[in-house]
Amino acid sequence: MLALRLQLIEDSSLPTLATDGTCIRYNPEFIAQLPDRLTPSAIAHEVMHCVLDHVSRRAAREPRRWNRACDFAANPILKEAGLPLGEKWLLNPAYANLSAEEIYSMLPEGEEGDDPLCDVRSGESADADALATEWKIATVQAAKTTQSMG
């Protein structure tokens, strides 16, 4: 239900996927090589960035480090929900139940390592506060709909 709020846009300039809270941009070559069982997880991963409001919270933080922190925050939730994760998707039990800001402060500056799955594109939306509010409302509505369906 939440994924349907995001327009899918093909973008070969990206290595993987990106979201700005209004769309999911994806590299078609990346999606083509992704095992079929991971495609729903990749979409859910992008949705989690919107639900967790990662898009509007980056502020002046270094983008790559922020993206890594956001992935470390989102992936445990997906795993707990039973979605399969890719082999190189960022997951560290030490970061479970921590916010992206907390994880960001724990990551060393300029740390090399696995790349984040996607790019959380902050500040590309016209009104980040309004977008965050829309996502909060949509998340509550989705949860209520899910509960009513059993």
Task: Output the pLDDT for position 117.
Answer: 74
Task: Output the pLDDT for position 124.
Answer: 47
Tens digits of per-residue pLDDT, 75-104? 999 999 999 999 999 999 999 999 999 999
Q: DSSP letter at 109? A: T
- Look at the pTM and tell me if it is higher than 0.85: yes
In the chain, what are the helix, strand and coil shares in percent, each to the nearest 5? 50, 10, 40
Closest CA to 131 of 32, 49, 8, 30: 49
Q: Is 59 exposed, middle or buried (0-12, 13-18, 19+ CB in 10 A)?
A: exposed
Distance of alpha carbon 132 from alpha carbon 147, whole angstroms = 23
Q: Are 51 and 139 in contact (CB under 8 A)?
A: yes
Given a cut of 70, is residue 150 above it in pLDDT?
no
Distance of alpha carbon 146 from alpha carbon 42, whole angstroms = 21
Angle between helices 128-148 and 39-51 (to 10 degrees): 120
Given a cut of 60, is residue 125 above it in pLDDT?
no
